[in-house]
Structure 1
Amino acid sequence: MELKLALVGFGGVNQGLVELLRKKRETLAGAGLDVLITMVADLRLGIATNPRGIALDVLDETARRGVDAMALRRDPGTLVSPDVNLDAVLKAIASEHVDVVIEATFTDPNTGEPALSHCRTALECGKHVITTNKGPIALAQQELARIATKSDACLMYEGTVMSGTPVLRQIATTLRGCDVNGFAGILNGTSNFVLGQVEAGANFDAAIREAQQRGYAEADPAADVNGSDVQLKVVILANTLWNAGLQRRDVHCRGIVGLTGEDVRVAAAEGMSWRLVGSAVRRPDGTVTASVEPRKLPASHPLRAASGVTNAIMFDTDVLGSVTISGPGAGRQETAFAILSDLIELVDRIAAAAPEVLE
């Protein structure tokens, strides 16, 4: 099956996807998938289009040059327009040369834009959407799902919660048959790293600077340390699990900014460790309560083992009891893998809906 991809945003995640597509050619061929990248839109590049596909080597060179369009302009059949305003991007998304939109732009978490407009337009045009953006899914998941159903398109967002560690797919596949009554997770690698460094003796400011130097934290780490990043992930998880209709305001949120070095060191002396935990519980009457807050965890707690930038989530199930999943919660290649896994599942869904497509 041939799928024509539009990469909206060409930062670390979609650059990592290009690398994976080059490395995994045989794996994709074995899954019956032939991928062409026919459009790339990025504020630094403009909009590059080629109905026959932009060469992966050219895209890789573009990334290595610091997202410079020179290599793209030399690629036969590729046209590059400097006009990269929202209307131009939406027009390119709607092109007949696009089957799947890979959305990985920088997005305002309060409005979901511009990713929300990208996703909405793509789905309205019958394009499948794969996104790693938390904003549009946390703020408008139900709306986007309705549009996808009406347009017979797929909306996929595995990478929005724990990067490449498969959480949403576990819910949909291996945990089928279980009732999940709650979850608690360490869902932000930056805050987890900072708390670990403080426990080891650093002060908070120095720990945040080191997280930034290592590429774990943004220049403005507010979303990590104030808990709002985890808040969005809790909304996505609760709504995916239970169709709860949660919004950000429904999730009480308190980050790690209120903790002091003394708090962390006293806890360590007691054999405890502070972790920023996002959680939700479904009550017997169907109501859902959710929160983000620092918690002191004993050594025996399943989430305590998540150190550094590792994420972990513990599901409370009726059949299996507590089930914990852990893995990398950040990283360019790790998040790109989530997109790759969504692409492979997309082929399976299309084939299941219309088996003759693969014949």
Structure 2
Amino acid sequence: MTTKIAFIGFGGVGQSLAELLQRKKEQLKNSYELEPVVVAVTDVMKGSIYHSEGLDISKLLEVVKETGNVEDYPQEPGMVKGWDSFTTIANSNADVIVEVTYTDVETGQPAIDHIRTAFKYKKSVVTTNKGPVALAYNELNELAKENGVYWGFEGTVMSGTPALRMPVTTLAGNEIKEIKGILNGTTNYILTEMEKGKTYQEALEKAKSLGYAEADPTSDVEGYDARYKTAILSNYLMGVPIDAHDIYCKGISDMTMDTVKEASANNKKWKLLSRITKENDGTVTASVKPELIDNDDPLAGVSGATNAILYECDLSGPILLTGAGAGLVETGYSLLIDIIHFHRQNALTKIGGG
């Protein structure tokens, strides 16, 4: 079954997904009867191209690598170039919009408006942008339901590690009482290096040199990145809407080597933890802050840039999930997970005559 895809944004993550679609082409067809066809790409920096019959992914990636502009793709009959993102969403024949634009996490834009537009035109969306899920989950979720479309955002919390779908599917029937996790690999890497004797600044510089930290690491080290992910977990898994800006947030920038050493001497470790607790009255409290945990805590052994999340369940007890929380291939894979899931739902709907 053909699934037509339009990319809104075509940076590293979008190109990683395109490469996966090409590399996994036979497996997707044989295992899932899924035949993805890329019909459109629009990117603020790289231009725009659309063909209703589909584009050659290999040629598309080659053009972007060589010239940086998708509009240098060889002209073919029926091809349209120059559409902006909203025109592409509205006028293309895509079944799924892959929304991977550069988005301001403080406002969620332009991703929120792209998703609104897609749902209005009854097109499904998969995204790795945190802003729309952290800031406009209820509105967008209702819009998706009203228009009978799919909205996937698996990659917004732990990249390709299924921190959202796993508890919903394999832990079904449990009530999750508390979620706590290491949701930012940069800060966990820094704290791990400090345990080895580095100062905060030395550990940060090493994280930058390895690509774990941005040139401006504020979002990571002050806990803002983890705060948005915490809001997503509350909105989606706890079913309790919480504004990211209402979550107490403290980062690790004032952490000293002496503080870390003292913890080690007492068989403890510092971790930047996201914590969401469901109270008896159904309300939720949430925070992001450095916490001192015992060495036998399941999260204490999570080192380096790895992410981890612990679900406290009423029936199964504590369940720990660990994995990569970033990386282009991993994030591209999270989008592929969502496209496969969309395809399965679509196939079931057609079988059921819906």
1:22 counterpart residue number: 22
Q: Is the Cα contact below 8 Å between 1:351 and 1:357 reproduced in 2?
A: no
> 1:78 offset after TM fit, Å?
4.2
| Per-residue CA distance 1:91-110 (angstroms, 9 max, x = gap) | 11112411111111111111
Q: State the number of aligned residues.
A: 353
The within-5 A match list for 1:81-230 is 81=82, 88-230=84-226
Q: Distance in 1 between matches of 2:180 and 2:297?
A: 11
Per-residue deviation, 1:195: 1.1
Structure 2: gaps of 5 or more residues:
none
* Mean Cα deviation higher: 333-342 or 247-256: 247-256
The answer for the alignment partner of 1:57 in structure 2 is 58
d(CA) in 2 for partners of 1:324, 1:312: 7
Per-residue deviation, 1:79: 3.7
CA contact (8 A) 1:196 1:308 kept: yes
Deviation (angstroms), 1:189: 0.6
TM-score (structure 2 length as normaliser) = 0.95
**What is the CA distance between 1:115 and its match in structure 2?**
0.7
User: Does the CA contact (< 8 Å) of 2:187 and 2:220 recur in 1?
Assistant: yes
Q: Which amino acid aligns with 2:147?
A: S
Equivalent residue number for residue 7 of structure 1 = 7
* 8 A contact 2:228–2:244 mirrored in 1: yes
Q: Distance in 2 between matches of 1:242 and 1:187?
A: 17
Which amino acid in the other structure matches residue 51 of structure 2?
Answer: N
Change (3 A) 1:273 1:62: farther
Percent identical pairs in the alignment equals 39
TM-score normalised according to structure 1 size: 0.94
- 2:304 counterpart letter in structure 1: G
Equivalent residue for 1:242? 238
The offset of 1:356, in angstroms, is 6.5
Contact 1:90 1:121 in 2 (8 A): yes
Distance, in Å, in 2 between the alignment partners of 1:58 and 1:173 is 38
Q: Conserved in 2, the CA contact under 8 Å of 1:54 and 1:75?
A: no
Aligned equivalents of 2:339, 2:254: Cα separation in 1: 41
3-state SS, counterpart of residue 91 of structure 2? coil
Could you tell me how far 1:357 is from its partner in structure 2? 7.9
2:48 and 2:71 in contact (8 A); partners too: no
Give yes or no for contact 1:54–1:78 (8 Å, CA) kept in 2. Answer: no
Unaligned runs of 5+ in 1: none
Output the CA distance in 2 between the equivalents of 1:151 and 1:189. Answer: 36
Distance 1:226 1:75 in 2: 49
What's the RMSD between the two structures over aligned residues? Answer: 1.8
TM-aligned CA distance change 1:268 to 1:62, over 3 Å: farther
For residues 105-155 of structure 1, give each alpha carbon's deviation from its aligned partner in whole angstroms, at most 9, with x where no partner exists.
Answer: 111111100111111111111000101000011000110011001111011
In structure 1, C-alpha distance between the alignment counterparts of 2:155 and 2:284, rounded to whole Å: 23
Shift of 1:17: 0.4
The amino acid that maps onto 1:50 is H
